[in-house]
Amino acid sequence: MAGIQQPPTVLPAGVPAGLPGSGQASDGHPDGSQPGSHPGIRRGRAAAFIRRHKLAPYLMLTPALIGIALVLLWPLLQVVIYSFQNYSLMQITGVAPTQWVGLANFTSTFKDPEFWLSLRNTLLLAIVVVPATLIVGTVVGVVLNRLGKKMAIFVSTAALMAWATPPISAAVLFYWLVNPDGGVVDWVLSKLPHWLVGSTNWAQYNWTTTGAFQAYVVIAVLVVWQSFPFIAVSVLAGLKTIPGELLEAARVDGASSWRVFRKITYPLLKPIFLVLLLLSVIWDFNVFAQTYIVTGFPGNQNEYNLSTYLYDKAFASMPPSYGLGGAIALIFALILLVITIGYVRTSVRQGALT
C-alpha cells in the first residue's frame, strides 16, 4: 500500500554493497573503479587494437628503429646543420660564435677545381672497378659452381680471406708489393724482357708518386682483389637456386656455355646482379683507406678522390672546416642517391625489378 515503507535490507556480515545478491545497485566495480578502467581490460583493448591494425611487426622493430635514429639519423641531421654554418674548432671550443652562412659552403665547393678533379678520379675509378669486380666475381662464382665439393670449399675459403682482410691491412700489403725499395712488382717487371714490358726502367719504379694513373692502377687492382669474393659467393648462391634440369636440357640441345649463361643464367639472376651492381657502386665511391695509404696522404692533390678530398677539407686543412666537410658529404650523398634512383628506375622499366 502507498505510504508504507519497506524495511531496509539487512546484509549479511562481510557482504559489501553493490555485489550481486546484495540487493543494492552499483555503477562501478567492487573496488570502486569505473567500467573499462581495470588494467586487464585496458591491456585487452590494446592487444585487440594491435591485432586489428596489424601493428605487431612495427612494434617489434621499434627498438631497432630507435637505435638507427640515434646512430644514423641524428648525426645526419647534425651534418646537414653544419653544412649551412661556419663551424670549426673555434666554434667547438666556444672561442667564436656559430655563424650561419647559408649556401656559401656549397658554392665554394662547386667553385673549387680540386672538387671536380676528385669527382673525375672517383668516377673513373668506379667505371673501371665496378665492371671488373662484377666480371671477376661472376667468373669465379661460375667456376665454384662446377668444382667438386672439397675444391670449392678450398677456393671459396681462400677468396673470402681476401674479402675479410681489413682495408688498411690490404692497402699496406699492396703498398709493400709496389714499393720501389724491394717491392715484388718492380722486381718481377725488371726481370721480364723489354719487348713485353716496354723500355721503362722498372727497377725502383715508384707507382704511388709518378702520377695519378699509376697510383689508381694499384688502387683499382686492390679494390677488385678485395671485392670480387663477395660477388662470387653471391653469384654461387644464386646459381644453386637454378634447377639443374633446365641447364642440362639446354646443353642437350647443343647450347654452348656462354649461350646458357646469356639465355638462362643471367635472366634468372638479374635481380641479384642489380643489387650487386648498386652495392659495388656505393662501395667503390667510398674508397678511402686504400687511397689514403697508397697515395701517401696528403700527397699529390691530383690523386684525391671524393673521400680523401672531403677528409682534407674537413679535418686535415688548417683550420679544419666541419661546415665545409658537411656540405661536401651532402653533395657526395646526393650523387650516390641520383645514381641509385636512376638505375633502379631504368631497371624497373626494363622489368628487372617488380
Instruction: Residue 124: give its domain's CATH number.
Output: 1.10.3720.10
User: Does the pLDDT at position 316 exceed 60?
Assistant: yes
Q: What is the grid cell recorded at 184?
A: 715484388
For the chain, what is the domain count? Answer: 2
Whether 341 maps to a domain, the answer reads yes
Whether 288 maps to a domain, the answer reads yes
Average pLDDT score over residue span 6-28: 48
Residue, of 68 and 127, whose pLDDT is higher:
127
pLDDT band at 219 (very low <50, low <70, confident <90, very high): very high
> Is residue 283 helix, strand or coil?
helix
Contacts of 111 (CB under 8 A, 6+ apart): none
Specify whether 185 is located in the same domain as 312.
Answer: yes
pLDDT in tens, 19-43: 444 444 444 555 555 555 566 677 7
CA–CA separation, 6 vs 9, rounded Å?
A: 9
Beta strands in 32-98 (DSSP E): 85-86
Find where cell 717491392 sits.
183
Q: What is the grid cell recorded at 84?
A: 649551412
Residue, of 94 and 118, whose pLDDT is higher:
118
CA 282 to chain CA centroid, nearest Å: 7
Percent of the chain with pLDDT over 70: 86
Average pLDDT score over residue span 221-237: 91
Residue, of 175 and 10, whose pLDDT is higher:
175
Specify whether 183 is located in the same domain as 230.
Answer: yes
Mean pLDDT, the chain, integer: 80
Whether 2 maps to a domain, the answer reads no
pLDDT of residue 133: 94
Residue at which a domain ends, from 82, 116, 133: 82
Query: Domain range for residue 135?
Result: 106-350
pLDDT band at 240 (very low <50, low <70, confident <90, very high): confident
pLDDT in tens, 282-301: 888 888 888 889 887 776 77
Contacts of 85 (CB under 8 A, 6+ apart): 91, 98, 99, 100, 101, 323
Average pLDDT score over residue span 172-193: 85
pLDDT in tens, 121-164: 999 999 999 999 999 999 998 888 888 888 888 888 888 888 88
pLDDT of residue 340: 83
Whether 87 maps to a domain, the answer reads no
pLDDT of residue 24: 46
Specify whether 204 is located in the same domain as 155.
Answer: yes
Average pLDDT score over residue span 55-62: 81
CA–CA separation, 163 vs 157, rounded Å?
A: 10
pLDDT of residue 18: 47
Specify whether 78 is located in the same domain as 111.
Answer: no
Residue, of 19 and 329, whose pLDDT is higher:
329
| 290 within 8 A of 222, measured Cβ to Cβ | yes
Whether 326 maps to a domain, the answer reads yes
Specify whether 74 is located in the same domain as 141.
Answer: no
Whether 27 maps to a domain, the answer reads no
CA 297 to chain CA centroid, nearest Å: 25
CA–CA separation, 61 vs 156, rounded Å?
A: 34
Backbone angles phi, psi at 88, to 5 degrees: -150, -160
Specify whether 207 is located in the same domain as 283.
Answer: yes
Whether 201 maps to a domain, the answer reads yes
User: Does the pLDDT at position 104 exceed 50?
Assistant: yes
pLDDT of residue 187: 86
pLDDT of residue 78: 86
Specify whether 195 is located in the same domain as 76.
Answer: no
> Is residue 189 helix, strand or coil?
helix
Specify whether 224 is located in the same domain as 171.
Answer: yes
Percent of the chain with pLDDT over 90: 14
User: Does the pLDDT at position 308 exceed 80?
Assistant: yes
Find where cell 672561442 sits.
95
Specify whether 244 is located in the same domain as 294.
Answer: yes
